[in-house]
Structure 1
Amino acid sequence: MTTTGLDDEHKRPDRRTGPTGHLVDGYLAAAAARTPEAVAVVDRGRSWTYGELDGAVNRFASALRSRGIAPGDVVTWMLPNWCEAIVVHLAAIRLGAVSNPVIPIYRHRETAFILRQAASKVLVVPQRFRNFDYPAMIDEIRPEAPALGTVVVVGGDPGRTRFEDLLAEGADTPVEVARASGDVALLLYTSGTTSAPKGALHSHDTLDHENRSIIDFFGLSAADVVFMPSPVGHIIGVLYGLQLPFMLGGPVVLLDVWEPGRALELIEEHRCTFTVAATPFLHGLVHHPSLPERDVSSLRVFACGGADVPPELVRAATTALGCTVGRGYGSTEFPTATACNATDPLARRALTDGRPIGAAEVRLAPDGELQVRGPELFLGYLDASLDAAAFTGDGWLRTGDLARIDDDGYVEIIGRQKDIIIRGGENISAKEIEDHLFEHPAVADAAVVSSPDPVLGERVCAVVVPEPGQDVTLPGIVEWLTARRMARQKLPERLLLLDELPRNPSGKIQKFHLRDLARGQDSPRPDTGWTR
Structure 2
Amino acid sequence: MNIALLLEMAAEAAPDRIALVCDGKRWTYSDLLAAARGAFAIIQDSGADYVALLDESSEAAVIAVFGAALAGVPYCPLNYRLPDADLAALLGRIAPALVIGDEERVTRIAQDQGHTILSREEFTLQTQETVPADDAREYDPGEGVAIQLFTSGTTAAPKAAILRHSNLLGYILGTVEFAGADEADAALVVVPPYHIAGISALLSSIYAQRRIVMLPSFSPEGWLALVQAEAVTNAFVVPTMLSRIIEAMDNGTTAEIASLRAIAYGGGKMPLEVIHKALERFPAAGFTNAYGLTETSSTVALLGPEDHRQALASSDSKIRARLTSLGKPIPTVEMEIRGDDGRVMPVGEAGEIYVRGEQVSGEYKEKSALDADGWFPTRDAGYMDEEGYLFLSGRADDVIVRGGENMSPGEIEDVLLTHPAIADACACAIPSVEWGEAVGIAVVTRDGHEAPHENELKDLVRQRLRSSRVPEKVAFVTELPYNEMGKLLRRKVKDVLAG
Which category describes the TM-score, using the shorter chain as reference length? 0.7 to 0.9
Distance 1:220 1:419 in 2: 41
- Among candidates 92, 103, 124, match of residue 68 of structure 2: 92
Deviations along 1:371-424, whole A, 9 cap, x unmatched? 10111111611112xx2xx22221100111221112222111112222222334
Give the percent of matched residue pairs that are identical in Structure 1 and Structure 2. Answer: 28
1:26 deviates by 2.3
For residues 263 and 352 of structure 2, the distance between their equivalents in structure 1, rounded to whole angstroms, comes to 27
Judge conservation of contact 1:447–1:463 (CA < 8 Å) in 2. Answer: yes
Give distance in 2, aligned partners of 1:280 and 1:261: 14
For residues 115 and 366 of structure 1, do their structure 2 counterparts lie closer, same or farther at Cα, with a shift above 3 Å needed?
same
Is this contact kept in 1: 2:289–2:304, CA < 8 A?
no
Match of 1:394 in 2: 373
Residue 270 of structure 2 contacts residue 324 of structure 2 at CA under 8 Å; is this kept in 1?
no
- Distance in 1 (CA, whole Å) between partners of 2:88 and 2:23 is 29
Aligned-pair distance for 1:220? 5.7
Note the C-alpha offset of 1:243.
1.6
Q: State the distance in 1 between where 2:219 and 2:253 align.
A: 16
2 CA distance for matches of 1:456 and 1:379? 35
Once residues 123 and 477 of structure 1 are traced to their aligned partners in structure 2, the CA distance between those partners, rounded to angstroms, is 53
Paired position in structure 1 for 2:421 = 442
Matches within 5 A, 1:333-482: 333-334=295-296, 335-344=298-307, 345-346=310-311, 347=320, 349-367=322-340, 368-378=351-361, 380-384=363-367, 387=368, 390-475=369-454, 478=457, 481=460
Q: CA deviation at 1:45?
A: 2.7
Return the alpha-carbon distance in structure 1 between the equivalents of residues 133 and 227 of structure 2.
35
Contact 1:227 1:275 in 2 (8 A): yes
Q: What is the TM-score of this pair, normalised by structure 1? A: 0.82
Q: How many residues align?
A: 474
Deviation string for 1:445-479 (max 9, x for gaps)? 32211222322333322222333444324437517
Asked if 1:509 is matched to 2:488, the reply is yes
> 8 Å contact 1:228–1:275 — kept in the other structure?
yes
Q: Does 1:30 align with 2:9?
A: yes
Distance 1:415 1:80 in 2: 29
1:224 aligns with 2:194: no
2:108 partner amino acid: D
Q: CA deviation at 1:81?
A: 1.4
SS at 2:382's partner residue?
strand
Asked if the contact 1:354/1:411 (under 8 Å) is kept, the reply is: yes
Classify the secondary structure of the residue corresponding to 2:99: strand
Letter in 2 for 1:383: E
SS state of the match for residue 306, structure 1?
coil
Contact kept, 8 Å, 1:260 with 1:284, in 2: the verdict is: yes
Q: What does residue 330 of structure 1 align with?
A: 292
Return the letter of the residue paired with 1:332: T
1:276 corresponds in structure 2 to 236
The aligned counterpart of 1:152 is 118
Q: Measure the CA separation in 2 of the matches of 1:481 and 1:487.
A: 11
Gaps of 5+ in 1: 1-20, 128-134, 156-161, 521-532
AA aligned to 1:337 is: V
Change (3 A) 1:393 1:329: same
Per the alignment, residue 11 of structure 1 pairs with none
| 2:166 match | 205
8 Å CA contact 1:31–1:246 kept in 2: the answer is yes
**Structure 1 residues 121 and 425, CA, compared in 2 at 3 Å: closer, same or farther?**
closer
Structure 2, gaps ≥5 residues long: 312-319, 341-350
1:25 and 1:498, CA in 2 relative to 1: closer, same or farther beyond 3 A?
A: farther
The one-letter code of the counterpart of 2:412 is I
**1:20-419 paired onto structure 2 within 5 Å:** 21=1, 23-69=2-48, 73-127=49-103, 135-143=104-112, 145=113, 148-155=114-121, 162-164=122-124, 166-167=126-127, 170-171=130-131, 176-215=137-176, 223-240=184-201, 242-288=202-248, 289=250, 293-322=254-283, 323-334=285-296, 335-344=298-307, 345-346=310-311, 347=320, 349-367=322-340, 368-378=351-361, 380-384=363-367, 387=368, 390-419=369-398
> TM-score with structure 2 length normalisation?
0.87
Are the counterparts in 2 of residues 192 and 504 from structure 1 also a CA contact under 8 Å?
A: no
Give the CA RMSD over aligned residues: 2.7
Higher relative contact order (CA 8 A, sep 6+): 1
Give the Cα–Cα distance (whole angstroms) in 2 for the partners of residues 108 and 292 of structure 1.
36
What is the CA deviation profile of residues 63-83 of structure 1, one whole-angstrom value per residue up to 9, with x for unaligned ones? Answer: 2223334xxx21111220111
Task: Answer yes or no: is the 8 Å Cα contact 1:41–1:48 preserved in 2.
Answer: yes
C-alpha separation between the residues in 1 aligned to 2:452 and 2:106? Answer: 42
3-state SS, counterpart of residue 106 of structure 1 = coil
How far off is 1:168 after superposition? 5.9
Distance change in 2, residues 1:197/1:479 (3 Å): closer
Report the alpha carbon displacement of residue 221 of structure 1 after superposing the two structures with TM. Answer: 5.8
